[in-house]
Structure 1
Amino acid sequence: MAVEGRAIDGPAAGAPAAPDAGSRRPSAAPWLFRLRAPLPRYVGPAFAVGTSFAILGLWEFTARLGLTTPMFFPAPSAIFLAMVRMFAEQHLLWHAWISTLRVWEAFLLAAVMAVPIGMLMSGYRAVGAALEPAVDFIRYLPVPALVPLSIIWFGVGEETKIFLLWLGTFFQLVLLVADDMRRVPQEYVEIAYTVGANQGQVLKDVAFRAMLPGLVDNLRITLGWCWTYLIIAEIVAADSGLGFVIWAARRYMKTPEVMAGVVLIGFIGLATDQLLRLIHRRAFRYLA
C-alpha cells in the first residue's frame, strides 16, 4: 500500500512496536506477587496448614533442645498428650460443652439486645445522643474489676457467669451495629419513603437488609471477644467449664493441662469462626 508515494509495510511512524509474543512470559505464580490477587482454590488452606505445622515443628524442636523449661513452656507433644489424658480421665469434652453453652447463651442475649438498640441509636439522633455516652463509658470498664460487684448482685450461680460474658460483648456490639446502620446509604431510605414505606418498614425491610452482611461479620468478631472473657467468668465459684479446668490445673502448676485447656478454647473458636465465615460467603455471594 502506498500513501503519497511512500510505501508503508509496518506500523505507522512514531507508533510503538508491538511486543514480541515470545517476550510476554506469564509469571509462574502471579497471585503471589500481585496486590489483592485471588489465591487458587487450595493454595490458601495449604499455606495455613503448612505454616501451622512449621510453627509447631519449631516449637517442638526448641523444647527438645532444652531451650525452654517444661514447667513453664512445655512442648506441643506434651500438651497433646495432656489433652488426650484429660479427655479420657477428666471429662474434658463435657467441660468444653458447658463452656460453649455459656458463651452462646451470653452472646445471643447480647446480640438480641444490641441489634435493635444500635439501629435506634444510629437511626434516631436523639436516641444516639442519650445512650452513646453511657455505652462508651461502660465499654471501657475492665470486666475483671466488676467480678466482685457481679457476685454481690447475682450471687455465685450461673447468672454471674452469663452476666460477665454478656458484659464483655454487649457494649462493644452496640457501637458496631450503630456503625453498620450509619453506613446504609441515605438514598435507600429516601427511595423507600418515596414508594410509601413507613418508618418501621424502612428500618426492617431496607436498613436491616442493607446492613446485614456487615452485621453478620461483626457478630462473628464479637463472638470471639465473648470467648476471651470465659476464664474470668468461670473462676467465680465454678465447678465446670474450661475456665474451671484451667484454673484448677494452675493451682498445681500443671502447665501442660493449662495449655491444653487454652488450646482447646482456640480450636473451638477457630472452628466456629470458620463456620461463620462459610455461612457469610454462602449467604452473601454477591459480595465476592
Structure 2
Amino acid sequence: MTNLAQAVSGMGQIEDKTEEPVRAKPSLSRFFVFRGLLARRAEIALGIGGSVGLLLLWEAAARLGWTNPVFFPAPSTVIAAMGRMIVNQSLLWHAGISTMRVWVAFLIAAAMAIPIGILMSSYRVIGAPLEPVIDFIRYLPVPALVPLSIIWFGVGESTKIYLLWLGTFFQLVLLVADDMRRVPQEYVEIASTLGAKPHQILKDVAFRAMLPGLVDNLRITLGWCWTYLIIAEIVAADSGIGFVIWTARRYMKTPEVMAGVVVIGIIGLVTDQILRAIHRRAFQYL
C-alpha cells in the first residue's frame, strides 16, 4: 500500500508539472525578426527616439567643443537662426515659393512621364526608339546644363521650372515603364480570354495593377525633385529657400545655411508622410 500511495503521489506530481505552463523568457531577438512587423506605436516611438537621440548627440558634441561652431553649429543655434529668419527674412514666404516651383515642375514631369512610360512598356514600337535617348539624357548632370538653360530660357521663372523638370522627368519615365513591365502577363491573357479589347486591358487591368508601384515611384521622384532645388534657385534668383541658402553661404553664416536645409528636410518629411498615408489608405489590400 505504501508503494502504491507513493506511486499515485508521484503521478500527481508529474501531472502538476506537466499542467504548469512554461513561461518563455523575454528576449530581444523577437524585435530582430527578419522582415518582422512592429506595432504602429512602436515604430513612431522608435522614429522619434532616434531623431531626438541624434539631436542630443549633436548638441553635446557642439557644446563640448568637439566641432567647430563656424562649420558645424549646435542644433539650438540653428533653431535660433531659423526663428530670426522667419521673423526678419520672410523664411516661410521663401519656403512657399520653393514649394510652388517644385510642385509645378513635378506635376508637369508626372503628366508627361506617366503616359509616355506606359506606352514605352506596352508597345515596343514606341519604347525601342525612345529608351536610348532617355537613357542618354538621364545620365547628363543637371548642373552642367545650367548654362544652356539660361541661353534657352533666360534667367526667369521658366529656367528654374525647367531645371527641376529636367532632374525628374527622365528618371520617372523609366520607373513608370518598369512598373508597367512588372504587371504579370497572366492578367493580360485572362482579360483577353474574357474578351477585353487592348485599350480596356491597358486602362482597366494593367494600369490598375501598376498603380500601387506608380504611387510609390511618384513619392520617390518628388524627393529627387527637391534635391535639384538649390541648383535651380541659384540662377539669378531673388526668392526661394535656395536663394536664402546661397546668400547666407557667401557670408559664412553657417547657422542660416543649415536652417534653410532643415526647412527643406521638414517640408520633404511632412510631404512624404502624407503620401505614405494616402498610399496605405488607397491600397489597403496590399
**TM-score, L = length of structure 1:** 0.90
What is the Cα deviation at residue 21 of structure 1?
A: 5.8
Q: What SS does structure 2 have at the residue aligned with 1:115?
A: helix
Partner of 2:98: 99
| Distance across 2 between alignment mates of 1:55 and 1:215 | 33
Higher percent of residues as helix: 2
What is the Cα deviation at residue 26 of structure 1?
A: 6.1
What is the Cα deviation at residue 41 of structure 1?
A: 2.5
| Distance across 2 between alignment mates of 1:20 and 1:71 | 69
Q: Say if 1:31 and 1:39, in contact at 8 Å, map to a contact too.
A: no
Q: Say if 1:73 and 1:255, in contact at 8 Å, map to a contact too.
A: yes
Partner of 2:11: none
Partner of 2:110: 111
| Mapping 1:118-157, distance limit 5 Å | 118-157=117-156
Q: Report the identity percentage.
A: 73
Matched, 1:89 2:88: yes
- Cα displacement string for residues 170-219 of structure 1 (whole angstroms, at most 9, x for unaligned residues): 00001100110001111111222222222222111111100000000000
Partner of 2:220: 221
Q: What SS does structure 2 have at the residue aligned with 1:260?
A: helix
What is the Cα deviation at residue 68 of structure 1?
A: 1.1
- Cα displacement string for residues 19-62 of structure 1 (whole angstroms, at most 9, x for unaligned residues): 88633516456641322221122111111111111111111111
Partner of 1:77: 76
| Mapping 1:35-54, distance limit 5 Å | 35-54=34-53
Q: Say if 1:60 and 1:77, in contact at 8 Å, map to a contact too.
A: yes
Number of aligned residues: 270
Q: Say if 1:168 and 1:225, in contact at 8 Å, map to a contact too.
A: yes
| Distance across 1 between alignment mates of 2:214 and 2:259 | 33
What is the Cα deviation at residue 65 of structure 1?
A: 1.0
| Mapping 1:1-288, distance limit 5 Å | 22-25=21-24, 27=26, 31-287=30-286
Query: CA 1:250–1:32 in structure 2 vs 1: closer, same or farther (change >3 Å)?
Result: same
| Distance across 1 between alignment mates of 2:191 and 2:168 | 33
Q: What SS does structure 1 have at the residue aligned with 2:49?
A: helix
**Residue type of the partner of 1:119?**
I
**Residue type of the partner of 1:192?**
A
| Distance across 1 between alignment mates of 2:65 and 2:113 | 50
Greater CA drift, 28-37 or 217-226: 28-37
| Distance across 2 between alignment mates of 1:281 and 1:118 | 24
| Distance across 1 between alignment mates of 2:166 and 2:19 | 65
Q: Say if 1:72 and 1:255, in contact at 8 Å, map to a contact too.
A: yes
Q: Say if 1:31 and 1:38, in contact at 8 Å, map to a contact too.
A: no
Greater CA drift, 79-88 or 198-207: 198-207
Runs of 4+ in 1 over 6 A off after TM superposition: none
**TM-score, L = length of structure 2:** 0.91
Q: Say if 1:87 and 1:93, in contact at 8 Å, map to a contact too.
A: yes
Partner of 1:15: none
Give the superposed CA RMSD: 1.6
| Distance across 1 between alignment mates of 2:175 and 2:132 | 15
What is the Cα deviation at residue 242 of structure 1?
A: 0.3
